[in-house]
Amino acid sequence: MSAASAGCTEQTTARADGPPESYPYKVVTTVGMVTDIVANVTGDKAAIHRLIGSGVDPHLYKPTRSDVIALMEADIVFYSGLMLEGKLAGTLEKIGRTKPVVAVTEAIDRAYLLAPPDLEGHPDPHVWMDPSAWAKCVEAVVDALAKWDAANAEFYRANARAYIKQLEALHAYGKKAIATIPEQSRLLVTSHDAFNYFGRAFGLQVMGVQGLSTESEAGLQDLNRLVDVIATRNVKAVFVETSVPAKNIRALIEGARSRGQEVVIGGELFSDAMGEPGTYEGTYIGMIDHNITTVTRALGGEAPSRGLHGKLSRPAFE
């Protein structure tokens, strides 16, 4: 299912106090996935400061004094929204009283969002796992920038069109690659429930040891439930995540082994954070390419070992 643009899911008031007085103007972003959109749309017009680094869990991140200073000095701020950066919410709300502060997920139709019962009415925030949804978030960035810096509106729109084409190609690659996994093996078991949009977009059943927030703890009952599924489905690989400790997945493997089911770690997936800056995996496209390729190959499907563009830093699951 692709995301349709309609009503807002969340947005701190974006006041148009521009246009910029000089270039490059100062943009502050939260997570790397949002930073990547902003960088592709703004080009050389902006100097971007990201608050939450590679491998850092945004669910648990608390703003530092330097973060607050950076936000106060920014000309415009972009964040993901949907409670992903929960501990930053109060700070973002205060900053939004004096400058544009935009949740990029505002452009996604609320009907598209998943709303698991354990989140008490809050939608699953991991929408970037579906490139078609993340393409809608590009529109939110463009709309905000075109309003705030109208003189460069067409520049932003042209950059966005080029970037969205890349996201469309990435989505098509995911559909094609995941479809090669034998149907019985299309089960993605990960550290926490960050991959439900990924599963829906590409045709995988997804099960996480923890809930949607890494603040939740996995209990013995959760582990036993997953071990039962792994044994029944004869699952050969499970996955760890770069921003979540691997202890629960290792416990899962031990539990399966005690029942005579040999399971391996199929790879380390990017969930709430991208790879290191300067690497292919440190881009949104590289992050999702890595996930698609790693999952496909580990679960018995066919995909190039170096991914869609042959740029992955190392071969996936060899």
pLDDT tens digits in sequence order for the chain, 318 residues long: 444 333 333 443 334 466 898 999 999 999 999 999 999 999 999 999 999 988 788 888 999 999 999 999 999 999 999 989 988 989 999 999 999 999 999 999 999 999 877 666 789 999 999 999 999 999 999 999 999 999 999 999 999 999 999 999 999 999 999 999 999 899 999 887 789 999 999 999 998 876 544 444 555 677 788 888 888 888 889 998 876 667 778 888 888 888 888 889 999 999 888 999 999 999 999 999 999 999 999 999 999 999 999 999 999 987
Quick check: 233 and 79 in contact, CB under 8 A? no
Specify the DSSP element, H or E, that contains 165.
helix 153-178
Please state the separation of Cα 195 from the chain's center in Å. 9
pLDDT value of residue 6: 36
Q: With DSSP H G I counted as helix, E B as strand and the rest as coil, what are the percentages for the chain, rounded to 5?
A: 45, 15, 40
pLDDT value of residue 13: 37
CATH 3.40.50.1980 in the chain: give the residue spans.
25-174, 180-298
Residue 10 is given by DSSP the state -
Half-sphere exposure of 208 (CA within 13 A, CB side): 22
What span, in angstroms and rounded, lies between the C-alpha atoms of 308 and 178?
13
Beta bridge partners of 241: 244, 269
DSSP symbols for 28-64:
EESSHHHHHHHHHHHGGGEEEEESS-TT--TTT----
Task: Report the CATH fold assignment for 180-298.
Answer: Rossmann fold (3.40.50)
What span, in angstroms and rounded, lies between the C-alpha atoms of 283 and 163?
12
pLDDT value of residue 18: 65
Task: Report the CATH fold assignment for 25-174.
Answer: Rossmann fold (3.40.50)
